[in-house]
Structure 1
């Protein structure tokens, strides 16, 4: 009986070793196949263009405007919650074509932009007005506006920054229901 149990144990160990060797050789073969494919791709060095890729061309400088802002960031310092900050960013078009701002988007609902709607001719000035409403805001703030125009790059960002002091400084406001 001991011999039968011993034979079964030896047979089990031998079977396990054989199976693990087969799995190892399968893994080695798969790894080698992947390494061969990588080597082939590296030697061909051909870039595959996606089907949905658009062809790009270098823009003709004669068709572009160019922003020149004396400042691209305005620090409004410390204000109290609820105050409204307004800043006028002026720019000059240093490009070869009229500068056309197609859209300006704000980073949050607390900021609203206005800008020169008419094309700004080369050498002339335009503006971007940014209004920041600090209601329901506190602490460090840095709202931005993104300008989309016929420039290179096509998007330019302006930023306001400062700190908003809460209406009731240091007073704890109750959270949740109050027990009486």
Structure 2
């Protein structure tokens, strides 16, 4: 029995040694360089920097539509791709952003329309989903919506 086990161990050792030599011959140096470059670049992220994080419309009349723009710059080291921009409710509509990659140092913008619904102090959030390290950024709009005047007959 000892001879069988010893024989299997010797055969296994020989098999592993021969596989190791074949594997090193299959490595392509060009692929190693490409993989190293890819791994180095995978740690680079775009960074979205806004000109303002919040816009205050001030006092507005009820049901009066207002609009603003948020400007942003890619201050990171990789192209910025914005995949989606959503608001916290249907009364606020983000639009007009580029879905194309934004190079480092380049700038872009999107507009936000608010239909003036609600009363008193109103705050809405706009979530920008992008390929940044965090994955999303949040900007806000605020307004003080004056109540509608009551109609008298």
| Residues 66-85 of structure 1 aligned to structure 2 (within 5 Å) | 66-85=47-66
Q: Output the TM-score relative to the length of structure 1.
A: 0.58
Aligned to 2:76: 95
Cα shift at 1:61: 3.4
Distance 1:61 1:85 in 2: 40
Cα shift at 1:172: 9.2
Indicate which of 61, 74, 86 corresponds to 2:43: 61
Structure number with the bigger relative contact order (C-alpha 8 A, sep ≥ 6) is 2
Greater percentage in strand: 2
SS at structure 1 position matched to 2:46: coil
Aligned to 1:133: 115
| Residues 1-16 of structure 1 aligned to structure 2 (within 5 Å) | none
Cα shift at 1:97: 1.1
Distance 1:155 1:123 in 2: 19
- Which portions of structure 1, spanning 4 or more consecutive aligned residues, are displaced by more than 6 angstroms? none
Cα shift at 1:105: 1.2
Q: Whose Rg is larger? A: 1
Return 5+ residue gaps in structure 2 as ranges: 1-40
Which whole-Å deviations, capped at 9, do the CAs of 1:62-90 have from their partners, x for residues lacking one? 2x211111211001100001111111100
Aligned pair count? Answer: 111
Q: Output the TM-score relative to the length of structure 2.
A: 0.67
Distance 2:98 2:137 in 1: 15
Which whole-Å deviations, capped at 9, do the CAs of 1:33-86 have from their partners, x for residues lacking one? xxxxxxxxxxxxxxxxxxxxxxxxxx9332x21111121100110000111111
Aligned to 2:131: 150
1:75–1:162 CA contact under 8 A, matched in 2: yes
